[in-house]
């Protein structure tokens, strides 16, 4: 049914179009017939009336003149239209070229803006890394100062050590030629020499670290090697930065400060060694054979309720009796921990120094 209906609708549309075409054709034929009749009537009237014929000739001449003038005007208009079209095409080409140039300039401007933003971001990153490195160096130097103060030995009061006074008050006596005294004197001299050597090495390490930090910030080519390889930051911009200038001033102050303290610390270490050797020589013959090495005393732990042994000068603490083997183990453990804490540098500081 649907197929037959579609065919029927199509056929009806064809019939209607044919009918409309026939109707238009008849209308045109009728108009043509009317025009032909009018023309024949004019010809007959012009033949019978000569005055009207002259008027018709003048009318025809006027129509021809108007027609010729209209043709001239149309020709002139056609030339003007051609010129206008050519000018329009030229202007369109210029507009397209200007649009292309403007797009190129916009791309270049965006690229320059992005490069500037990247360079600025990289510059700020480098400055933050330099500031973080400076803070890490300050922390390391403070830690080294603490370790240096701890390694330097007993307090600088100049009096008799409290442990020796306690031993003297207890009335402990020892012979001058006892093996315990010889071992204690030998261990004390070794400890003093080790403390002096450690203080000198620590001072040298502090000065070398400050010099390396100052050199890494003073040389622009080293400080900006990674940035220059990427084409992001120039040495002039890094040199003109106020943060880096202040950091250089701080490094210079640090170097001057530690250079002044070097002689004071060496002199102090020599005085400590001399004072300890004199105190050992003074009390070497005044005390009898002790149950423990000199400088060691037994105390009671309040938290655990058991005795422990301590040496205030060497800052050692033992739960077992202070025999030579236990003392050597404690000293080795303390020296290894001090060496690790002094020579250990954070990984972030090492990576930042390498990046700079």
3 state SS of 233 = coil
Dihedral, 74, 78, 83, 89 alpha carbons, nearest 10: 140
Residue with tokens 């579609």: 6
Q: What is the 3-state secondary structure (H, E, C) of 11-71?
A: HHHHHHHHHHHHHHHHHHHHHHHHHHHHHHHHHHHHHHCHHHHHHHHHHHHHHHHHHHHHH
Task: Please give the order of strands across the beta sheet that includes 296-300.
Answer: 296-300, 307-311, 316-318
pLDDT of residue 235: 42
d(Cα 311, Cα 167) in Å, to the nearest integer? 13
- The tens digit of pLDDT for each residue in 262-317 reads 667 666 766 665 555 544 444 444 334 346 778 888 888 888 888 888 888 878 88
Q: Find the distance separating the first CA and the last CA of the chain, reported in whole Å.
A: 88
Locate 156 and state its tokens: 């600088």
d(Cα 329, Cα 114) in Å, to the nearest integer? 62
DSSP state of 299: E
pLDDT of residue 156: 46
- The tens digit of pLDDT for each residue in 150-182 reads 887 654 444 444 444 444 444 444 444 455 555
Does residue 74 have a pLDDT over 80? no
Q: Calculate the average pLDDT of the chain.
A: 69
d(Cα 234, Cα 192) in Å, to the nearest integer? 52
In this structure, the number of other CB atoms found within 10 A of the CB of residue 273 comes to 19
pLDDT of residue 87: 86
pLDDT of residue 276: 52
Residue scoring higher pLDDT (33 or 173): 33
Nearest by Cα to 324 from 296, 285, 283: 296
Chain-centroid distance, C-alpha 26: 90
3 state SS of 7 = helix
What residues contact residue 198 under an 8 Å CB cut-off, 6+ apart?
A: 151, 338
Residue with tokens 């051609």: 82
Cα 319 to Cα 61, 205, 222, 299, 300, distances in angstroms: 143, 34, 52, 10, 10
Does residue 255 have a pLDDT over 60? yes
pLDDT of residue 110: 93
How much is the average pLDDT of 92-109? 91
Nearest by Cα to 280 from 185, 166, 204, 138: 185
3 state SS of 135 = helix
Locate 311 and state its tokens: 């040496």
Phi then psi for residue 352, to 5 deg, are -70, -40
Max Cα-Cα span within the chain: 180
Residue scoring higher pLDDT (169 or 81): 81
pLDDT confidence tier of residue 114, bands split at 50, 70 and 90: very high
d(Cα 229, Cα 235) in Å, to the nearest integer? 12
pLDDT of residue 25: 84
- The tens digit of pLDDT for each residue in 119-136 reads 999 999 999 999 999 999
pLDDT confidence tier of residue 232, bands split at 50, 70 and 90: very low
> Strand 296-300 to strand 316-318: parallel, antiparallel, or no bridges (unpaired)?
unpaired
Contact 331, 191 (CB under 8 A): yes
């Amino acid at each position: 049914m649907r197929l037959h209906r579609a065919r029927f609708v199509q056929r009806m549309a064809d019939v209607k179009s044919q009918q409309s075409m026939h109707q238009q054709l008849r209308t045109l034929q009728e108009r043509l017939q009317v025009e032909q009749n009018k023309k024949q009537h004019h010809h007959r009237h012009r033949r019978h009336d000569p005055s009207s014929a002259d008027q018709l000739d003048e009318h025809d001449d006027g129509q021809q003149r108007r027609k010729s003038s209209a043709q001239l005007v149309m020709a002139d208009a056609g030339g003007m239209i051609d010129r206008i079209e050519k000018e329009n095409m030229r202007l369109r080409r210029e507009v397209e070229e200007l649009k292309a140039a403007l797009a190129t300039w916009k791309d270049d401007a965006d690229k320059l803006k992005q490069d500037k933003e990247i360079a600025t971001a990289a510059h700020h990153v480098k400055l933050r890394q330099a500031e973080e490195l400076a803070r890490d160096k300050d922390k390391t130097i403070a830690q080294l100062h603490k370790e240096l103060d701890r390694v330097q030995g007993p307090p600088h009061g100049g009096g008799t050590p409290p442990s020796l006074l306690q031993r003297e008050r207890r009335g402990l006596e020892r012979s001058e030629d006892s093996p315990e005294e010889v071992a204690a004197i030998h261990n004390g001299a070794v400890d003093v020499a080790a403390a002096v050597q450690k203080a000198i090495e620590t001072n040298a390490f502090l000065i070398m670290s400050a010099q390396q930090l100052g050199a890494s910030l003073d040389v622009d080519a080293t400080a900006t090697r990674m940035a220059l390889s990427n084409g992001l930051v120039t040495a002039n911009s890094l040199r003109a930065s106020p943060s880096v200038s202040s950091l250089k001033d701080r490094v210079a102050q640090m170097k001057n400060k530690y250079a002044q303290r070097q002689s004071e610390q060496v002199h102090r270490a020599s005085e400590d060694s001399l004072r300890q050797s004199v105190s050992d020589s003074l009390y070497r013959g005044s005390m009898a054979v002790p149950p423990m090495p000199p400088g060691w005393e037994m105390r009671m732990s309040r938290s655990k309720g058991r005795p422990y042994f301590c040496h205030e000068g060497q800052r050692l603490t033992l739960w077992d009796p202070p025999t030579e083997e236990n003392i050597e183990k404690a000293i080795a453990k303390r020296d290894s921990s001090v060496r690790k804490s002094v020579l250990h540098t954070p990984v972030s500081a090492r990576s930042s120094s390498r990046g700079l």
